[in-house]
Amino acid sequence: MATGTLVDVVMPQMGVSVSEGTITRWAKAVGETIEADETIVEISTDKVDTEVPSPASGVVRELYAGEGDTVPVNTRIAVIETGGEGGGGEAPAEAPPAAPEAAAPAPAEPAAEAAPETQPAPAAPAEGNGNGHNGDGRTFVSPVVARMVAEHGLDVSAIPGTGRGGRVTKKDVQQFIDAGGTAAPAQAPEVHDVPHFAPPPEAPAPAPPAAPAAPAVEVAALGQAGPGEELYRFNTIRKVIARHMRHSLETAAQVTTVIEVDMTGVVNLRKKWKPEYQSRYGVNLTYVPFVARATIDAIGRWPWVNAEVHGESALIKKYVNLGMAVAVDDAKGLMVPVIQHAEEKNLVGLSRSVIELADKARTKTLSPDEMSGGTFTITNPGVFGALIGTPIIPEGQVAILDVEAIVKRPVVVTDAHGNDAIAIRHMMFLCLSYDHRLVDGAYAAQFMAQVKQNLESWDENAFGL
């Protein structure tokens, strides 16, 4: 029987800082036909939820991960056979760890850890019993589920499973925890690398002698809240933010420079242009596009703030892919969609891009291209009334501009004849965090002075509408 060509489906890279994705739903099962560009799987990351199209037309031959599994990017998750005459195609010689439905019972000794590309696909197990139980009483779980069960000391057999064949998924465990699920009376399941099984619960050990009540802070450290406290468990996006922020601080030599800008002219222009923007272009004109356009123009004169450090070299970008930090999930999370080639956009284009990307970020519908390639980032805590901040530089960049609140203040102004007077002006602080490995203080100050000049000298013909 003729054999077709085998085409791999891999976990896509959904943004430069995204290292893994979670499979939420397989749209096709093994043996089903699929057309090129037809959805084969839905995945979720800390950045975006999306559908992955099939790279070819053919028949689905293998699925190497189950729903609820978290898989590193560029890892094979499925194989499609193209051409040929039916089911005679052979599985690829090398495959990543199989999905829960296609894993064999664990050997007596856990296999040595190996890269996904070099691990052979185990044979399929015997038909499972509800909750993913094998005939030998062991419970099959994915790696992420095994870790969650171990971390929280849970009995996996007590968790209702909604996955295929009753298997317990990551979502099931999280819902069990959120509902106040209690820890297992026995030792937490041991986590193996290949294959991934949680041993059945053992008989409870004899109760130890009663100990004095622990302080609330110690109770919280064990995963429980004390009186008058609420325990917040990090969701995926918060874990990723924490990891990347910590790594950025450990890598870059971060310094912050602050400059004050008189925004009175911009305030007046916005007031004048806002109705026309709404009627002619259908967009709400905010202050962000003004700051963005002024910043992009300044980057053209001071390009080292738009660079990337590689060891003892720096890659200077001649284009500006502008990251715009957006608070999501009631300000408990942060996404940074990217306006590609922002230097080509005027105020109208920047306004549309800012609104569109912010909406997509909050609904988690951003595409991979809209999440990757940023060269310089603007964050805007001023919308919440903040006055001064020291933002952390995104990984892979050397600077981030913090836009603070515009407030009315009495300031000294000098007229054309050199006379000083007190006037009420709309003032704003801009804060630039930069990587001192590449950008020096004088260079950063001159860049900020250019941004200030661009904003304070803006007129109706500046940069065009």
CATH number at residue 82: 2.40.50.100
AA letter at 119 = Q
Rounded CA separation 126/323 (Å): 50
pLDDT at 60 over 70: yes
Quote the number of domains for the chain. Answer: 3
> Is residue 112 assigned to a domain?
no
Binned at pLDDT 50, 70 and 90, residue 234 comes out as: confident
* Beta-sheet strands, E only, within 355-445: 376-379, 399-403, 407-414, 420-435
Rounded-to-10 torsion of CA 9, 10, 15, 16 = -140
- Residues in contact with 79: Cβ distance below 8 Å, sequence separation at least 6, in sequence order: 6, 7, 8, 9, 60, 61, 62, 64, 91, 92, 95
State how far the Cα of 24 lies from the Cα of 394, in Å rounded to an integer.
28
The span from the first CA to the last CA of the chain, in angstroms, equals 65
Amino acid identity of 335? M
pLDDT range class, residue 64, cuts 50, 70, 90: very high
The confidence band for 131, taking pLDDT boundaries of 50, 70 and 90, is: very low
Tell me, yes or no, whether 228 and 248 share the same domain: no
Q: Return all residues near 130 (Cβ < 8 A) that are at least 6 apart.
A: 161, 165, 166
| Phi, psi dihedral angles at 324 (to 5 degrees) | -125, 105
Q: Are residues 53 and 186 in the same domain?
A: no
Q: In terms of domains, do 257 and 398 share one?
A: yes
Confirm whether 238 is domain-assigned: no
- Cα–Cα dist 245/251, whole Å: 10
- Does residue 271 sit in the same domain as residue 401? yes
Nearest C-alpha neighbor of 170 from the set 146, 196, 139, 201 = 146
Q: Are residues 170 and 69 in the same domain?
A: no
Mean pLDDT of the chain: 77
Looking at residue 354, its pLDDT comes to 92
User: Who has greater pLDDT, 447 or 242?
Assistant: 447
297 with 359, same domain? yes
**Structural domain span for residue 17:** 5-96
What secondary structure letter does DSSP report for 281?
I
**Token pair of 138, please?**
């062991």
What pLDDT is attached to residue 216?
Answer: 43
- Tell whether 270 is covered by a domain: yes
Of all residues in the chain, what percent are helix, strand and coil, respectively (each to 5)? 30, 25, 50
- 257 and 359 in a single domain? The answer is yes
Centroid of chain to Cα 392:
16
Phi, psi of 39 (to 5 degrees): -65, 130
Q: Do residues 150 and 189 make contact, with C-beta atoms less than 8 angstroms apart? A: yes
What CA–CA distance (Å, rounded) separates 157 from 191? 15
What pLDDT digit, counting tens, does each position of 87-128 carry? 444 444 444 444 444 444 444 443 334 334 433 333 333 344
- The residue among 75, 96, 117 that closes a domain is 96
Question: At 197, phi and psi to the nearest 5?
Answer: -130, 150
Active site residues: 436, 440
Same domain, 50 and 151: no
Confidence of residue 433 (pLDDT cuts 50, 70, 90): very high
Higher pLDDT, 19 or 379: 379
Write out the two tokens for 190: 């041991």
Q: Are residues 22 and 51 in the same domain?
A: yes
Give residue 231's pLDDT: 83
Instruction: Report the C-alpha gap between 180 and 364 in whole angstroms.
Output: 28
Looking up tokens 């609140």 gives: 405
Task: Look at residue 149 and tell me if it is in a domain.
Answer: yes
Clarify whether residues 375 and 442 are in a common domain. Answer: yes
Would you say residue 122 lies in a domain?
A: no
In angstroms and rounded to an integer, the radius of gyration of the C-alpha atoms of the chain is: 28
Q: At 72, list the tokens.
A: 């590193």
Residue 464 lies inside a defined structural domain of this protein? no
Identify whether 124 is part of a domain: no
pLDDT at 374 (0 to 100): 92
Tell me the average pLDDT across 145-157: 74
- Give the residue with greater pLDDT, 202 vs 107: 202
List, for residues 242-293, the tens digit of each pLDDT value. 888 888 888 899 999 999 999 999 999 999 989 988 888 888 899 999 999 9
**Residue 277 DSSP symbol:** I
* Residue 395 counted as domain residue: yes
Phi first, then psi, for residue 307 (nearest 5°) are: -140, 180
Q: Calculate mean pLDDT across residues 32-54.
A: 83
- If asked whether residues 81 and 17 sit together in one domain, one would say yes
Residues 90 and 135 in one domain: no
